[in-house]
Amino acid sequence: MNALRVLSWRRLLAVVRKEFVQVMRDRLTFAMMVGIPVVQLAIFGFAINADPKRLPTAVVVESPGVYTRSLISAVEATGYFRLVESPDPRDAAALLEGGEVQFVMVVPADFERRLVRGERPAVLLEADATDPAATSNALASLEPLARSALRFDLDGPLAGGSGPPFEWRVHRRYNPEGITQYNIVPGLMGVILTMTMIIMTALGMTRELERGTMENLLSMPVRPLEVMIGKILPYVLVGYVQVIVILLAARFVFEVPMEGSLAWLGLCVLVFIVANLTVGITFSSLARNQTQAMQMSFFFFLPSILLSGFMFPFRGMPAWAQVVGEVLPLTHFLRLVRGILLKGYGVADSWPHLWPLMLFIVVVMGIGLKRFRRTLD
Amino acid sequence: MTEAVIDVQGLTKTFGTRRVVDRLALRVGRGEIFGFLGPNGSGKTTSIRMLCGLLTPDEGEGRCLGYDIRTQSALIKREVGYMTQRFSFYEDLSIRENLEFVAEVYELRNARAAVDAALNDLGLADRQRQLAGQLSGGWKQRMALAACLLHRPQLLLLDEPTAGVDPQARREFWAEIHRLAADGMTVLVSTHYMDEAERCHRLAYVAYGTLLAQGSPAQLVRDCGLSTFTVDGENLHALQAELLRLPAAEQVVPFGTSLHVSGAEEDALERQLQPYFARSELRWTRDRPRLEDVFIHLMRGRS
C-alpha cells in the first residue's frame, strides 16, 4: 500500500535527509550559503550609500577675508563637502581631473569687495559629474546656502535687498548634462568583462579536472604553462569582441563622448582582462568541480559590482568598504575607462589607476601558479 | 629476460597518512605484456602514474625506457602512451579533432597522415566526424587506444582499459595488444579480470600497496601451493556451507553447477574431505587452482 501513496513522509524525509547531508558535506557550498547573506548584509546595510557625504573638495581662495571664511564654513556645515586642500588655481584643475577631489570651489579675487557693494558676485563650483549620483545631492544642498550662509555677517546696511547676496556658478565637468548613461555604459564594459572572463576561465580549467581530461593532458608532453596560456588566449579574444560591441553601443546608441584615445583604452582593457583571467585561473585551481568554480566567481562578482563604484558612488562608502573596493580590479578599471572616455586621460593620467591592476595581476598570478602546480602532484 | 623497459625499485607514495604504494619493485622486458593485478585501491593507478612521470615518487628510483623517472619525466612522456582508467578525451570534440589535438601536442611530423593512418588502423575512419561523447564504451576505448598509439610510443600503459566494454570488443582489444607486443611494443596493463590476466605474458599482483607475487600465469598457479578439488552434484548450496566449516578448506567457491574447494595444506584438506569423497551423489575431481583462487589466497595470507 505504501508504495502506492502519492506522498510518503518516510520517503520524503529520506530525500530531505540525504540532500541535507550532501549540502553539509560540500563545505564550500555551505560556506557560500552562510557567506553570501553576510556579505550582502554588510554591503547593502553598511557600505552602500546612495547619498554620499563628506566629498573631497579643494578650495581656491583668491580673496581671503571674513566673508570667505564664513562661506567656507557654511559649505562644510552642509556635511556634503570635506575641504582637503587649498591649492594653487592651476593645480586645482589637475586634482579634479585626476579624481582626487570631487569638487573645486573658487572664491574669486573681487568676491569680498563686490559682496560689500551688493553686486551679487559669483562663486565658481566645478564638479566632477562623471557619476551624476555622486554629486547631485551635494549640489542641491548649495542652493539655499546662497541666501543663508552670510546671514549673520551681512547685517545692518549690508543686509541689502531681497535676493541672495551672491550666487553659485556650478560647472558640471565631464558630463555637463548629468546623463547617467555616460557613467553606466563605460562601467558596464568593466562589469561584463569581469563576469565573463572570470566565469569562463574558472569553469574551463575545472571542467578539465572534473572530466578527467586534465590527467590525460598532463601525461602528454604539453607543459602547464602552455595549458594555462592556451586556455587564456581565446578568452582574451572573446573579451575584445565584448569591448568592441560595448564601445559601438556606447558611441552610436548612447552617444557617450569619447575624449581619449581608443588605442590606449584597448591597451588598458588588455591589462584588465588579464587581471580577471588570473582570478579565474586561481579559482579553477581551488575549485574541485564546476559548481564550486561558479560559486566562487559569483562570490567575487558581487562585491565587484557593488563596491567598485559601478552601482553606487565609491566616495559614499565607509573607509573599510573603500579599502575592499581598492583591492578589486573593477574599481581601478572603472576609473580608467571613465577617465579615458569622459575626461580624455592619457598615459600619465592613467598610471595611478593602471599600476594597481598590474600589482593585482602579479600577486594573483603568483597564487594561481603555486596552486596550479600543486594540483598536478 | 631481454633488455628492461621498466626497471624500478623501492617506489613509495604516500597521500596524507595513507601509504598507497609501498616499496614497489618492477622489471618489465621489451615486448612483454605485463599484467598488473590487484583489488580496488591497491595502488595500481598511482604506480602507473609514477611510471609515466605524472606523479613524483616520495621514495625509490628507477628507469623507464632508460630515463630516470625522477628527473626525466618530460622525456618519458614523449615515448609513453598512457590510457587513463576513465575516458579522458574531449567529449565535445569529434574523434578526428581529438586525434588531431593529440598529434599537435606531440608535435608530430605529418600529423594529418598519422591521424588518417590511426583512424584506418583501428577502424574509426567511418566515424571520424562523430563526437567522442556520443560513442559507446567499446568505441570510446578504441578511440582512446588510437590516440595513445598516435605518437608510436615504445611503452603503452593501460589502466583498466576494458572496464565496461563488452566481450566481443574486449577480445578485439586484446588481439590488438598482442599484435602491438609482437611488433616490439611493451605493454603494462592493469585489470581486475582474470581472463585478461591469463592473456598476459607475466603478472604482478599488488594489494595494499605491496607486491605480493610476480611471474607468468602458469608459474603463479604452480608456485602458489594451493590444492584444488572440484565437486559436482545436487544441493551444492548446503554442501558449501558445510565445507566452509572445515579448517583446511580456505576457499569454497561456486562455479556454475560445481564447487571449487581449495586449501594450502594438501594432506589436511584431503583428510578432512574424505567423508565427502565417500558420498555417492557427489562427483569429485582433482583440479588445478585458477588464477582467481591464487590471488584470493595471496590476499588472505596478507591480511
The DSSP symbol for B288 reads: P
Q: With a cut of 70, say whether residue A44 has pLDDT above it.
A: no
CA distance A105 to A37: 41
Q: With a cut of 60, say whether residue A263 has pLDDT above it.
A: yes
Identify the pLDDT of residue A70: 86
Identify the pLDDT of residue B233: 85
* DSSP class per residue in B33-94: EEEEE--TTSSHHHHHHHHTTSS--SEEEEEETTEETTT-HHHHHHHEEEE-SS--S-TTSB
What's the pLDDT tens digit per position in B11-42?
999 988 888 898 999 999 999 999 999 888 88
Tell me which CATH homologous superfamily contains domain A55-173. Answer: abc type-2 transporter like domain (3.40.1710.10)
Q: What confidence tier does A19 reach under pLDDT thresholds 50, 70, 90? A: confident
Q: With a cut of 70, say whether residue A2 has pLDDT above it.
A: no
Q: With H, G, I as helix, E, B as strand and everything else as coil, classify residue B234.
A: coil
Residue of B nearest to A209 (CA): B88
- Residues 101-160, chain A, touching B (beta carbon < 8 A): none
Measured in angstroms, the CA of B194 and the nearest CA of chain A are apart by 27
Q: With a cut of 70, say whether residue A374 has pLDDT above it.
A: no
Listed in sequence order, the residues at least 6 apart from B44 whose beta carbon sits closer than 8 Å to its beta carbon are B36, B37, B38, B159, B160, B190, B206
Kindly report the average pLDDT of chain A as a whole number. 83
Q: Among A265, A274, A263, which Cα is nearest to A237's?
A: A274
Identify the pLDDT of residue B174: 92
What's the pLDDT tens digit per position in B176-223?
999 999 999 999 999 888 888 889 999 998 888 888 888 998 898 888
As a CATH number, domain B225-302 is 3.30.70.920
CA distance B161 to B169: 11
Identify the pLDDT of residue A21: 79
Identify the pLDDT of residue A264: 93
Q: What is the mean pLDDT of residues B229-254?
A: 88
Q: With H, G, I as helix, E, B as strand and everything else as coil, classify residue B5.
A: strand
Partners of B52 on chain A (C-beta within 8 Å) are: 219
B33 vs A372, higher pLDDT: B33
Q: What percent of chain A has pLDDT over 70?
A: 93
Number of H helices, E strands in chain B: 11, 14
Domain spans of chain A, in order of start: 55-173, 180-376
Strands A81-85 and B4-15, sheet pairing:
unpaired
What's the pLDDT tens digit per position in B132-155?
989 988 889 889 999 999 999 999
Identify the pLDDT of residue A351: 92
Residues B77, A376: C-beta atoms closer than 8 Å:
no
Domain spans of chain B, in order of start: 4-221, 225-302
A215 touches chain B (CB under 8 A): yes
Measured in angstroms, the CA of A298 and the nearest CA of chain B are apart by 26
Q: What is the mean pLDDT of residues A343-347?
A: 87
What values do phi and psi take at A262, rounded to 5? -70, -30
Q: With a cut of 80, say whether residue A26 has pLDDT above it.
A: no
Identify the pLDDT of residue B183: 92
Identify the pLDDT of residue A23: 73
Q: What confidence tier does A363 reach under pLDDT thresholds 50, 70, 90? A: very high
Q: What is the mean pLDDT of residues B62-70?
A: 90
Listed in sequence order, the residues at least 6 apart from B270 whose beta carbon sits closer than 8 Å to its beta carbon are B227
Identify the pLDDT of residue A83: 86
CA distance A32 to A26: 10
Which of B88, B91, B106 lies nearest to residue A216, judging by beta carbons? B88
Partners of A217 on chain B (C-beta within 8 Å) are: 105
Residues B74, A221: C-beta atoms closer than 8 Å:
yes
C-alpha cell at A360: 593585482
What values do phi and psi take at A310, rounded to 5? -75, -50
Q: Out of A154-168, A185-199, B34-48, B231-245, pick the least confident.
A: A154-168
C-alpha cell at A192: 561584463
Q: What confidence tier does A16 reach under pLDDT thresholds 50, 70, 90? A: confident
* Interface pTM, i.e. ipTM: 0.73
What's the pLDDT tens digit per position in A298-336?
889 988 988 888 888 888 788 888 999 999 999 999 999
Q: With a cut of 80, say whether residue B79 has pLDDT above it.
A: yes
Q: With a cut of 70, say whether residue B57 has pLDDT above it.
A: yes
Residue type at position A271: V
Q: Is B9 exposed, middle or buried (0-12, 13-18, 19+ CB in 10 A)?
A: middle
Identify the pLDDT of residue A158: 60
Residues A212, B87: C-beta atoms closer than 8 Å:
yes
Within chain A, strands assigned E span 55-61, 81-85, 103-107, 122-128, 167-173
Tell me which CATH homologous superfamily contains domain B4-221. Answer: P-loop containing nucleotide triphosphate hydrolases (3.40.50.300)
CA distance B21 to A7: 50
A222 touches chain B (CB under 8 A): yes
Identify the pLDDT of residue B175: 92
A86 touches chain B (CB under 8 A): no
H/E run at residue A368: helix A347-376
C-alpha cell at B274: 574424505
Q: What confidence tier does B2 reach under pLDDT thresholds 50, 70, 90? A: low
